């Protein structure tokens, strides 16, 4: 099953010709999620060949403009393209009012339901789950209430050792229980042990998004051992004071978080417009956490 993240915007507050403001598209087990929605996100989705209409969940981290100014335009375009399937938008208090006011003043009657779920930026919680994925939120620490997000695949069932099972001509009815890890006792007293007829399940993958935030070890439990962590790295180390003052992070700090949380890979983004490229960010971070890349707009990361 596909689990990949498309970077739609890797810039910070001031967009540049190369880096749009924050937005990411997460395709996880046929669920389609947008995280943040800076100005121009709908165009970035088009450029990446992603259907606007597949998106069912939009997660807005916080109400700085570079994380949500593109939301109203995206919702308008979904409507103009004939959407009738509802959408759920998770974000801070005030977001719903801003979006509805802008749509209503132009007389727009949106042809699909928009379900706003208010996040308080303080409470870790499970926002959504179905048979395939879970979406969690947890608090970040920024100048205004800000939410981190974690998207998990649901645990997979154990995998049947089909050859052995066929060879022994066991009944098909026991397979679900064995795949769930349960041993099965047959009528004649024979015990089919799950461990003998199945292999360990494929690892379920997870992705976490942390932007914007000051260096904050309190987030580590929420992102523990994710396969891929996106963490903001607005500044380089020589601007650690500026990072602290503005409640942002440096590349080194992001790497420390990745190390503490024992993640698989670290993605750095939200680079200040003052940097021409991400080479120095990558270099600084790799001193602490080797498996780091600085993302760029349009990049696709496969988990």
To a second copy, the closest distance from the beta carbon of 50 in angstroms equals 13
In terms of Cα–Cα distance, which of 288, 291, 220, 223 is closest to 251? 288
To a second copy, the closest distance from the beta carbon of 42 in angstroms equals 7
Q: Does residue 193 bind a second copy (CB under 8 A)?
A: no
Q: Does residue 143 bind a second copy (CB under 8 A)?
A: yes
Give, as one character, the DSSP assignment of residue 168.
T
Residues 6-25 close enough to bind a second copy by CB under 8 A: 13-17, 20-21
In terms of Cα–Cα distance, which of 159, 164, 266, 174 is closest to 204? 159
Residue 45 φ then ψ, to 5°: -60, -45
Choice between 94 and 201, CB closer to a second copy: 94
Query: Nearest 5 degrees, angle CA 55-CA 36-CA 272?
Result: 145
Helix (H, G, I), strand (E, B) or coil at 159: strand
Q: Does residue 107 bind a second copy (CB under 8 A)?
A: yes
- Among 36, 66, 212, 297, the one annotated catalytic: 66
Give, as one character, the DSSP assignment of residue 238.
G
Binding test (CB under 8 A) with a second copy, winner from 53, 83, 88, 98: 98
Residue 284 φ then ψ, to 5°: -65, -45
Please tell me whether the peptide bond between 125 and the residue prior to it is cis, using omega within 30 degrees of 0: no
Give, as one character, the DSSP assignment of residue 143.
S
d(CA 290, CA 293): 9
Q: Does residue 106 bind a second copy (CB under 8 A)?
A: yes
| 66 annotated active-site | yes
Choice between 98 and 288, CB closer to a second copy: 98
Q: Does residue 108 bind a second copy (CB under 8 A)?
A: yes
Query: Nearest 5 degrees, angle CA 151-CA 152-CA 158?
Result: 165
Choice between 82 and 189, CB closer to a second copy: 82
Under a CB-based contact definition with an 8 Å cutoff, are residues 75 and 58 in contact?
Answer: no
To a second copy, the closest distance from the beta carbon of 151 in angstroms equals 25
Options 94-102, 116-124, 185-193, 215-223: segment touching a second copy (CB under 8 A): 94-102
Strands 146-153 and 133-140: antiparallel
Under a CB-based contact definition with an 8 Å cutoff, are residues 122 and 90 in contact?
Answer: no
Choice between 52 and 285, CB closer to a second copy: 52
Q: Does residue 76 bind a second copy (CB under 8 A)?
A: yes
Site track 30-49 with a second copy (rule: CB under 8 A), x = hit: ---------xx-xx--xx--
To a second copy, the closest distance from the beta carbon of 43 in angstroms equals 6
- What is the contact surface with a second copy in residues (CB under 8 A)? 13-17, 20-21, 39-40, 42-43, 46-47, 62-66, 69-70, 72-73, 76-77, 80-81, 94, 97-98, 101-103, 105-108, 143-144
């Amino acid at each position: 099953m596909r689990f990949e993240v498309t970077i739609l915007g890797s810039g910070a507050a001031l967009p540049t010709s190369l880096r749009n403001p924050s937005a990411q598209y997460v395709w996880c087990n046929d669920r389609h999620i947008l995280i943040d929605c800076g100005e121009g996100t709908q165009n970035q989705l088009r450029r990446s060949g992603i259907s606007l209409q597949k998106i069912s969940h939009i997660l807005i981290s916080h109400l700085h403009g570079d994380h949500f100014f593109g939301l109203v335009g995206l919702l308008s375009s979904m409507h103009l393209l004939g959407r009738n399937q509802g959408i759920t938008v998770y974000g801070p208090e005030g977001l719903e009012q801003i979006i509805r006011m802008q749509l209503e003043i132009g007389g727009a009657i949106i042809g699909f339901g928009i379900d706003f779920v208010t996040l308080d930026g303080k409470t870790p919680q499970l926002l959504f789950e179905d048979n395939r994925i879970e979406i969690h939120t947890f608090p970040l620490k920024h100048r205004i209430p800000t939410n981190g997000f974690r998207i998990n695949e649901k645990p997979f069932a154990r995998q049947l050792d089909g050859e052995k099972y066929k060879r022994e001509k066991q009944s098909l009815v026991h397979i679900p229980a064995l795949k769930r890890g349960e041993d099965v006792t047959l009528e004649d007293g024979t015990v089919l042990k799950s461990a003998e007829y199945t292999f360990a399940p494929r690892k379920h993958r997870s992705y976490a998004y942390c932007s914007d935030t000051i260096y904050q070890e309190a987030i580590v439990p929420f992102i523990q051992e994710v396969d891929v962590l996106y963490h903001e790295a607005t500044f380089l180390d020589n601007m650690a004071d500026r990072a602290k003052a503005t409640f942002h992070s440096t590349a080194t700090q992001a790497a420390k978080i990745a190390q503490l949380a024992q993640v698989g890979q670290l993605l750095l983004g939200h680079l200040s417009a003052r940097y021409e490229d991400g080479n120095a960010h990558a270099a600084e971070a790799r001193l602490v956490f080797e498996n780091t890349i600085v993302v760029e707009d349009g990049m696709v990361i496969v988990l």
